[in-house]
Amino acid sequence: MPDKTITLALTGASGLTYGLRLLECLLADGRHVQVLTSQAAHVVATQEMGFTLPARPADLEAWLRERFSVVDDKLSVYGREDWFAPIASGTGASEAMIVCPCSMGTLAAIAHGLSDNLIERAADVMIKENRKLILVPRETPFSALHLENMLKLAKLGVTILPANPGFYHHPQRIEDLVDFIVARILDQLGIYTELIPRWGETR
């Protein structure tokens, strides 16, 4: 994938650590990342990770820049109702968009084209512009309604990549399980990574 802008949305499903690790890897690879967060993602950050994500986009951007040592223009953060953000229009669509983690509510809204906030609108733009859209649901079990929504999106070309880590790489830490999923997302983006050994490789 050329060095293009990638949109990353963090929503209220469990597993915010996946999204933050993905952001770290994208920035390390030199990608320009546009970050969006749902209100529930802020709740998950406090409950699961023990820190508070700043509410204002400018403050969140500063927080992420400090966390990941970003000193250039490779990171942008937009608010949930920032309708003038480039990604709200097909003319400003990013090369790819990932919703990680993706709540069932966000997935359903995208499946039905609701576009009630910037995350949903940006995803709608990706579908209509035939751009790469990856949803990373973290839910279990899936109801029939969840599965129907995923099938509907898959038929539209959306990649459904559940946060279901494998174990054949013999993980030793939680971080190894997180990296398994992040590596699969990066594979979908065409970004080479050595986060985990490939099938048949030994390290």
List the structure tokens of 99.
């919703």
| CA–CA distance, 30 with 111 (Å, rounded to integer) | 31
Q: Please tell me the predicted confidence (pLDDT) of residue 1.
A: 47
Residue 72 confidence (pLDDT): 92
The Cα–Cα gap between 154 and 128 comes to: 14
Domains in the chain, CATH or no CATH each:
5-188 (3.40.50.1950)
pTM: 0.96
pLDDT at residue number 3:
62
pLDDT attached to residue 131: 97
List the chain residues with pLDDT less than 70: 1-3, 202-203
How far CA 48 is from CA of 15, 40, 52, 176, 182, in Å, comes to 8, 12, 10, 18, 18
Candidates 39, 15, 43; CA nearest to 140 is 15
pLDDT tens for 138-167 read 999 999 999 999 999 999 999 999 999 999
